[in-house]
Amino acid sequence: MKSFIKNTGRIFSALCLVAVSQAALAQKINMVDSIDANQCSLIAQESCSSAKSEGVKVCTEKHKEAARKLNADSIMLGTINTSKHRKPSLTGGIKSVTITEVPASYYACNVKEKTSSNATTSGNTASIEARLNTLNRLKEKALISEAEYSKKRQEILDDL
């Protein structure tokens, strides 16, 4: 019986660890071109080097993983440097290797709040236009009064 309880405890611990790992992976990391110093705080600066053909992609994923571990929500990449080196190959010849270095800064910006307000502004412009058109048709059909039209129109425009 004791071994059953012990094994059940281990399974529960493993499931909790998987759940926490999946939650960490689900954390969205935003790649940004600029940072608002008033809303963001610098957490860390790191650099990644890769000799793979897709060095920028490899380093971006490494930076995202590091940012998740540090609870950052935004990454700003620095100037990407590539350099070519010649080195002996295993077959006795010389091969050319491209090294890609990608510096990055990790920030905590509370992007979730900012993203939702930006999504309303940019993503729903067509929706706002459709709402205004619907409102206008209701007014033209005399289904709403001029006062109701004006009030609702202002509410829709305030959503911009």
pLDDT digits (tens, 9 = 90+) for 47-105: 999 998 898 999 999 999 999 999 999 999 999 999 998 888 888 899 888 999 999 99
**Which of residues 39 and 119 earns the better pLDDT score?**
39
Domain check: are 64 and 76 in the same one? yes
Range list of H helices, the chain: 2-26, 55-69, 111-123, 125-140, 146-158
DSSP label at 36? -
Is the domain of 115 the same as that of 56? yes
In the predicted model, is pLDDT for residue 139 greater than 90? no
Looking at the fold, whether 32 and 111 belong to one and the same domain comes out as: yes
Residues 67 and 138 both lie in one domain: no
Confidence band of 18 (pLDDT split at 50, 70, 90): very low
Share of residues in the chain with pLDDT > 70 (%) = 74
Average pLDDT, the chain: 78
- Give me the number of domains the chain comprises: 2
* Residue 114 and residue 140 in one domain: no
Phi, psi of 52 (to 5 degrees): -80, 160
- Report which residue type is found at 160: L
In this prediction, residue 63 carries a pLDDT of 93
How far is C-alpha 17 from the geometric centre of its chain's CA atoms? Answer: 23
What is the pLDDT at residue 136?
85
Same domain, 140 and 106: no
Q: Are residues 14 and 63 in the same domain?
A: yes
pLDDT computed for residue 1 by the predictor: 53
In three-state secondary structure terms, 160 is: coil
**In 10 A of CB 58, how many CB atoms?**
17
Contact between 108 and 67 (Cβ < 8 Å): no
Which stretch of DSSP H or E encloses residue 46?
Answer: strand 41-50
62 and 12 in a single domain? The answer is yes
Q: Which residue has the higher pLDDT, 76 or 131?
A: 76
Q: Which residue has the higher pLDDT, 37 or 123?
A: 37
pLDDT tier at 3 (50, 70, 90 boundaries)?
low
Query: Measured between alpha carbons, how far is residue 83 from residues 52, 60, 100, 103, 152 in Å?
Result: 12, 18, 7, 14, 59
Expressed as residue numbers, the domain containing 46 is 2-123
Answer yes or no: do 128 and 110 share one domain. Answer: no
CA angle, 56 then 50 then 75, to 5°: 45
* Other C-beta atoms lying within 10 Å of the C-beta of residue 109: 18
Domain co-membership, 98 together with 138: no
Same domain, 52 and 131: no
Tokens representing 54?
């897709």
Whether 45 shows a pLDDT value over 60: the answer reads: yes
Give yes or no: residues 107 and 155 share one domain. Answer: no
Query: Tokens 């270095």 label which residue?
Result: 101
Judge whether residue 130 has pLDDT over 90: no
